[in-house]
Amino acid sequence: MKIFTLILVTLFAFSLVYADNVEFRVNMKIKALKGTFNPTTGTVNVRGSLNGWGETAMSDGDNDSIYTVTVDIPATTAVEFKFHYNPGDNWENVANRQYTVPGGGGSYEDYFDKDSFYVPTYSITVNFSCNMELERLSGRFDPNTDGVSVNGSFNGWASMTTILTANPLNPDIYEGSATVLKAVGENIEFKYWYQDNNWESVSNRVYVFTQTDADAGEVFLEHAFNDGTLETVLNQPCTVKFKVYMTGAKSAFSGNPFPMVNTVHIAGSALPLKWPGGGWPDGDITNVIQLFDDGTNGDETAADGWYSKDTVFPSYTILAVQFKYGANWGDVVNNEGGNDNEAGFAQNHNLNFTRYMTQVTVSDTFGKMGNSVLSNAKYAYTFNVDMSIKALKGIFDPTADLVYVRGGFNGWGTGNPMTDADDDSVYTATLDVAAGTFEFKFMFQDISLATEVWESNPNRSITNVDGGSFTDFFDRDDCPPTVAKNVDLVFSCNMELERLSGRFNPSTHVVSVNGNFNGWSPMTTVMTPNPLNPDIYEAVFPRMSMLCDVIEFKFWYQ
């Protein structure tokens, strides 16, 4: 039996001390006890909006495991920050800390990672596996040139530190491992990444270690990049018009309106959008896309305060994309403190695609984060019409005639010809169709007669919500031609109730069956009483007929 010793270290109280500045204090004792921090070689710092997320060194002058630093911060300023230590670029594995400086200054105290309990740690090898198939199919990931890594709290979120390599049996599967020192119940956060600077769009992945992991000394984690399946990605390209309103926009750094807006750029989590490096350095301008307010590049109206750009996202893009705008990239005079100036660290806009979306307008207001307003959406809808029966009957010539789908979604025009790429007689067209209900028909151009041949049936109808497909035979005719045979059509009609009502007099009235087979003529196909039951009137009409021929008829009497 293993005996575990639990040492509870009392968390020192949060306190506010009014002074001329702010003292940050972090207790590293538990990290040292767990062997993840070495006080003789490690350095500790605080990083956040108070210093542009750079490193402000902290010190432990009395060797009590509490590292401190005093920073001048204006009163009432709200700051976000984390504690951090080297070597290894180790960030806290907690949400950003938040602190509003009181009047006169103050202090902030806590344990690193908010971890005030000591439990034994174990050396555990974490084996990572990431399926890159959809990223490769999308064209975003090139296995010949792009490196793959897993980045997380265990390696300082450093790219290409824990490198993944292709499995020789399935080169779409990338694998690698890292050894961590963790206690049962502790976790790691991580994401997969590939060059250059393409992060997963999902939330940080989290794995909590169990006693089974500790006993085994290893764990296997398998994922697909972005958790991608055909159910969770775009099934075709989608053109997005990004629009952001910049009139009166304020900087997240200064809280002041920009003196002027010279340029607007967008960055994000899925190609063609990319994230710049930490702090959005000027040199990463190639990672962002410029928007315009001059009537070009998809911008509708020049100088109206709306900056726009049409951008195409390829097939297999994840459905949830995070992104952010920045004003005056590299313009120190006007960017009011930096390029990442729309909102606080890790605050983003959200674009939520649907599987079949092919076109959408995304409208945002600079600084108003969260789900974007989507409009003018269209979706891929696939129409299929089977022309095989018409071809067999000699009505349609597949070598010459042209097939179309025409309806309310395309103004009943001929701008959408259908094709039969695999020569299976099924003609197909995939169109960008807005949401709603539309009527349509299939038609073909008979080249030999120079005429348009429309379906003879009533208009068809679809309701498009998020894409889909429609398949049927032309004219709803699924019956192949057959050799005509002489078929006796045997009719039988019970006249009992008509006789009992007094309307029908069998001694004077004649009964007949009239239909499209005899020109709807009364008294042509005359019916006579059955000798065994004189209320039953019968008639036989011989007719040359083929499979699926249709007759219409009614019974009649004088």
pLDDT in tens, 47-78: 999 999 999 999 999 999 999 999 999 888 88
3-state SS of 134-150 is: HHHHHCCCCCCCCCEEE
pLDDT band at 437 (very low <50, low <70, confident <90, very high): very high
The pLDDT of residue 15 is 39
Q: What is the mean pLDDT of the chain?
A: 91
Q: Strand 320-327 vs strand 106-111: parallel, antiparallel, or unpaired?
A: unpaired
Q: Which residue has the tokens 């001329």?
A: 20
What are the backbone angles phi and psi of residue 216, rounded to the nearest 5°? -75, -30
Interval 349-365: pLDDT, tens = 999 999 999 999 999 99
Tally the C-alpha atoms within 13 A of residue 92's C-alpha that lie toward its C-beta. Answer: 23
Torsion over CA: 67, 191, 265, 374 (sign): negative
Average pLDDT rounded to a whole number, residues 472-477: 94
Would you say 141 and 193 are in contact if contact means Cβ atoms under 8 Å apart?
A: no
The residue among 319, 141, 148, 294 whose CA lies nearest residue 226 is 319
DSSP letters of 330-365? T-TTTSTT-S--SSSTT--EEEE--TTEEEEEEEEE
Local structure of 45: helix, strand or coil = strand
* Omega of the bond leading into 102 within 30 degrees of 0 (cis): no
Nearest 10 degrees: Cα torsion 14, 17, 22, 27: -30
pLDDT at residue 389, rounded to an integer? 92
pTM confidence score: 0.60
Q: How far apart are CA 528 and CA 534, in angstroms?
A: 8
Q: Which residues face 21 on adjacent strands?
A: none
**pLDDT single digits (tens) 408-426:** 999 998 888 999 999 999 9
Residue 543 has pLDDT above 50, yes or no: yes
Partners of 242 in the β-ladder: 309, 362
- DSSP string of 202-241? SPPEEEE--HHHHHHTEEEEEEEGGG--TTSB-SS-EEEE
Tell me the CA distances in angstroms from 151 to 188, 436, 450, one per residue in order: 10, 44, 65
Mean pLDDT of 470-478: 94
Higher pLDDT: 180 or 6? It is: 180
More reliable by pLDDT, 235 or 471: 471
Q: Say if residues 349 and 323 touch (Cβ distance below 8 Å).
A: yes
Give the alpha-carbon dihedral of 33, 51, 200, 86, to 10 degrees: -30
pLDDT band at 516 (very low <50, low <70, confident <90, very high): confident
Amino acid at 190: F
For residues 273-291, give the mean pLDDT.
93
